[in-house]
Amino acid sequence: MTAHAEREGDATHANWDGAEMARQIKAHALALGFALCGITDATPPPHHRAYARWLAEGRAGEMLYLHRQEPKRGDLHSVLPGVQSVVCVALGYAPADGRADMPGASEANDNALRGAVARYARFDDYHDVMWQRLEALLAFIHTLAPNAQGRVYCDTGPVTERDLAMRAGLGWIGKHTNLLSRHLGNWFFLGEILLTLPLPADPPETTHCGTCTRCLPACPTGAITAPYQLDARRCISYLTIELKGSIPVDLRPLIGSRIYGCDDCLAACPWNKFARAAQDNAVRPRADLTGPDLIALLALDDAQFRHRFAHSPIKRTKRRGLLRNVCVALGNIGDARAVPALARAAQHDPEPLVREHAAWALEQIAARAHPEKPPLETDTHGRKAPPGPRTNPL
């Protein structure tokens, strides 16, 4: 037994060879369906100070869990005592038909009023797929190193995923703040296994954005305030998914027909043309989530919502959040055919949040029908405000 193995207490591996173990872990990750796998050490994420500053500036909006996680994210030993390595994986979802460059494109040819759902949310919840595969990878690691302790994470844990994945060589943080890869473009999720096992780290990826800045002007709300700087409070992904209450009135018109997430900065990136299409059944888009019929969504009651979105990431917003977004989309589309459904929602929906946004949408549609009469502005609490110069509530 090597001194290294003794330190790990891994008595079963007389010829403990970290490089060989790392090779086997990566090969198994690919066999499980991950598109990329790399390894980094457990030192603090390189941009942890930038993260702390971002929080201090209030740019996380109402995502208070990001504040709570801050100390742990800066010290992975507080997440898993004795942690030595982090195995980072990517689950690709680049489409085979190249249509990822058409954010929210409706594949239907009918005349329905349709909303746009971000590509990542058009198939069953990626967290479930990620966790199943990460658990399977951890079980495999235990066959190599039974005494190693491991923790799997995806999205919600106290782990700054893009920072660690960049250091593990999976890709680089682009100016839109997401991780992109030479092999997968912008279309992949991240997951990690924290391990008490020392494994050789891969070389970090370097940035390949060069002088390109395409993603910045592509953002409909100006949420990317400078390269690598995102004001989440303006991001449509935040406004339609994470924000629980009323959407600031000034931002509603900029949301367009997007009802769950946004892909515009990702879709604008020229590296997508090198994206390897995902050959993975887990990321086949559901037909009913590609351009869903907004009027049908507005008619869902709570039980119907829970049934339809039981396996979808969309359940995160609950019915009230999704129907709020549907109202905003219908107001922005401005088609008078939505008036009966919106009027019903404005009067009878059990949720005040939905009623308020439905009333706003009706005002927008009325304003389009009578452009000479501008609608009264509604402030973020749904009260009427006199017409006047628009102010940014942020």
Binding site for ligand SF4 (CB under 6 A): 174-176, 180, 209, 212-215, 218-221, 223-224, 230, 235-237, 262, 264-265, 268-271
Residues within window 106-135 making contact with ligand B12, judged by CB under 6 A: 118, 120
Q: Which does 145 bind (CB under 5 to 8 A by kind): ligand B12, ligand SF4, none?
A: none
- How is 57-125 classified by DSSP, letter by letter? TTTTTT-HHHHHHHHHHT-GGGTSTT--EEEEEEEE---TTSGGGSTT-----SS--B-EE-GGGSSS-
90 φ, ψ to 5°?
Answer: -125, 135
Write down the least CB distance from residue 89 to ligand B12, Å.
Answer: 10
> Which residues pair with residue 185 across a beta bridge?
181
Write down the least CB distance from residue 104 to ligand SF4, Å.
Answer: 11
Residue 383 corresponds to which tokens in the numbers above?
């009260």
Residues within window 39-58 making contact with ligand B12, judged by CB under 6 A: 47, 50-51, 54
DSSP state of 188: E
Q: Which is nearer to ligand SF4, 37 or 241 (CB)?
A: 241
Q: Which is nearer to ligand SF4, 235 or 295 (CB)?
A: 235
Q: Which does 246 bind (CB under 5 to 8 A by kind): ligand SF4, ligand B12, none?
A: none
Q: Which does 175 bind (CB under 5 to 8 A by kind): ligand SF4, ligand B12, none?
A: ligand SF4
User: In sequence order, which residues have a C-beta less than 8 Å from that of residue 53 and are 6 or more positions away?
Assistant: none
Q: Which is nearer to ligand SF4, 250 or 335 (CB)?
A: 250
Distance of CA 167 to the CA centre of its chain: 20
Helix (H, G, I), strand (E, B) or coil at 393: coil
Q: Which is nearer to ligand B12, 160 or 312 (CB)?
A: 160
User: In sequence order, which residues have a C-beta less than 8 Å from that of residue 344 and are 6 or more positions away?
Assistant: none
Write down the least CB distance from residue 177 to ligand SF4, Å.
Answer: 8
Instruction: Verify whether residue 155 is a known catalytic residue.
Output: yes
Which residue in 75, 101, 155, 335 is the catalytic one? 155
Q: Which is nearer to ligand SF4, 174 or 198 (CB)?
A: 174
| C-alpha count within 13 angstroms, C-beta hemisphere, residue 105 | 11
- How is 265-312 classified by DSSP, letter by letter? HHHT-GGGGGPPPP--GGGPPPGGGSS-BHHHHHT--HHHHHHHTTTS
What is the residue whose two structure tokens read 């990566």?
26
Q: How many whole angstroms separate alpha carbon 218 and alpha carbon 238?
A: 17
In the chain, the amino acid numbered 134 is: L
- How is 215-231 classified by DSSP, letter by letter? HHHH-TT--EEETTEE-
Helix (H) or strand (E) holding 31: helix 18-31
Q: Which does 188 bind (CB under 5 to 8 A by kind): ligand SF4, ligand B12, none?
A: ligand B12
Write down the least CB distance from residue 371 to ligand B12, Å.
Answer: 32
Residues within window 305-334 making contact with ligand B12, judged by CB under 6 A: none
Question: Applying CB under 6 A, does 232 fall inside the site for ligand B12?
Answer: yes
Given the rule CB under 6 A, which of 138-146, 185-193, 292-300, 375-383 is the region that contacts ligand B12? 185-193
From the list 161, 205, 349, 356, which residue makes contact with ligand B12 (rule: CB under 6 A)? 161
- How big is the site for ligand B12, counted in residues (CB under 6 A)? 37
Helix (H) or strand (E) holding 51: helix 48-56
Q: Which is nearer to ligand SF4, 120 or 360 (CB)?
A: 120
Binding stretches for ligand B12 (CB under 6 A)? 47, 50-51, 54, 63, 66, 118, 120, 154-155, 159-163, 173, 176-179, 188-190, 207, 228, 230, 232, 235, 237-238, 241-242, 261-263, 265-266
Q: Tell me the catalytic residues.
A: 155
